Amino acid sequence: MIEVKNLFFKYNKSHEYAVDGISFDINEGEIFGFLGPNGAGKSTTQKILTGILPVQDGEIYLRKERIEKFNNDYFNAIGVSFEQPNIYGKLTGKENLDFFASMYDYPVQSSSNLLKMVDLDNAANKKAGEYSKGMQQRLVFARSLINRPKILFLDESVSGLDPSNAVLIKEIIKELRKQNTTIFLTTHNMTVADELCDRVAFINSGKIVLIDSPRNLKLRYGRKLVKIEYENDGCLNKEILSLVDDKDKQRIVEITKTKLIETIHSQEATLEDIFIKVTGRELG
């Protein structure tokens, strides 16, 4: 559905690439997770794919056709939920949705249905500026669905919600997948990614380090990992090491010989463990 080839992006005055030559493709109807720690380049990538930031270098294809310039057809086909809620605080929730709906020149979803869907019907007539953070986030999510998008970009839409609202939004996302919506889901929350995504890309310092399904990743790393916590200069250190990799096996011996071990567990690798193993970095 969407293919990205060698995408680079550098902010003005910055010496480093925020997006440093990434390539991936997203199949129609799949939920593609984009995972990485703070500052990895996730939101920058989403902003390029949604036309908010320019394509400085690289290629983007939609259904095999190169996009030279984002046009109205593209904007009509996509829905975008931003990490920073950009809503009109002086307008009510309902007025916000009605305003955005008025920008489309074809029939769109009714604001009352959308508000009900995200459990904001009771707050429909309250000023959005007086919404809590989680309520604003749900409003932004609802707004991204106004035009029944074929492709949905969700930047941290589930993070920061309380458990019952997180379940609500995750259920809507699953339902959208059933309707064949293609979803680009950006998050630093591995549990969310594991639950929702068909495939995930790990992004670190602007580069994609691997792409695979959560299931394959767990099969590949399986139970063959140990997590060792040990004391080092008064601090607690954590390392995740493979029981099959020779270098890691040596490291386990080295730690047991030289450090004071607090805990040692063999475990089924979570996506978070695999991320640390592959990048050497925690998700934060």
Ligand X SMILES: Nc1ncnc2c1ncn2[C@@H]1O[C@H](COP(=O)(O)OP(=O)(O)OP(=O)(O)O)[C@@H](O)[C@H]1O
What is the footprint of ligand X within residues 210-229 (CB under 6 A)? none
**Those residues with Cβ within 8 angstroms of residue 178's Cβ, 6 or more apart along the chain or in another chain:** none
What is the footprint of ligand X within residues 75-114 (CB under 6 A)? 83
How many residues are given for the chain?
Answer: 284
- Taking a C-beta distance cutoff of 8 angstroms, is the pair 95, 89 a contact? no
Integer Cα distance of 58 and 66 in angstroms: 11
Q: Which of 11, 86, 180, 250 binds ligand X (CB under 6 A)?
A: 11
Integer Cα distance of 279 and 126 in angstroms: 45
- By the rule CB under 6 A, 18 interacts with ligand X: yes
Q: Which is nearer to ligand X, 82 or 131 (CB)?
A: 82
Q: Which is nearer to Mg ion, 43 or 182 (CB)?
A: 43
Q: Which of 7, 22, 40, 240 binds ligand X (CB under 6 A)?
A: 40
Instruction: Give least dist CB 55 to ligand X, A.
Output: 15
Q: Which is nearer to ligand X, 115 or 196 (CB)?
A: 196
Q: Which residues of 73-111 are buried (b: 16+ CB within 10 A; e: fewer)?
A: ebbeebbbbbbebebeeeebbbbbbbebbeeeeeebeeb
| Choices 11-19, 67-75, 135-143, 177-185 (CB under 6 A): range interacting with ligand X | 11-19
Integer Cα distance of 68 and 253 in angstroms: 55
Q: Which is nearer to ligand X, 109 or 159 (CB)?
A: 159
Integer Cα distance of 1 and 26 in angstroms: 6
Q: How far, CA to CA in Å, does 188 sit from each of 129, 192, 195, 282? A: 26, 9, 13, 10
Q: How far, CA to CA in Å, does 103 sit from each of 71, 72, 112, 168? A: 15, 11, 17, 27
Q: Which of 42, 138, 177, 218 binds ligand X (CB under 6 A)?
A: 42
CA-based torsion, 24, 29, 35, 41: positive or negative: positive
Q: Which is nearer to Mg ion, 43 or 137 (CB)?
A: 43
Q: Which is nearer to ligand X, 3 or 83 (CB)?
A: 83
Contact of residue 258 among ligand X, Mg ion, none (CB under 5-8 Å per partner type):
none
Binding characters for ligand X, 178-207, by CB under 6 A (x = yes): ----------x-------------------
Contact of residue 149 among Mg ion, ligand X, none (CB under 5-8 Å per partner type):
none
Q: Which residues bind ligand X (CB under 6 A)?
A: 11, 14, 18, 36, 38-44, 83, 188
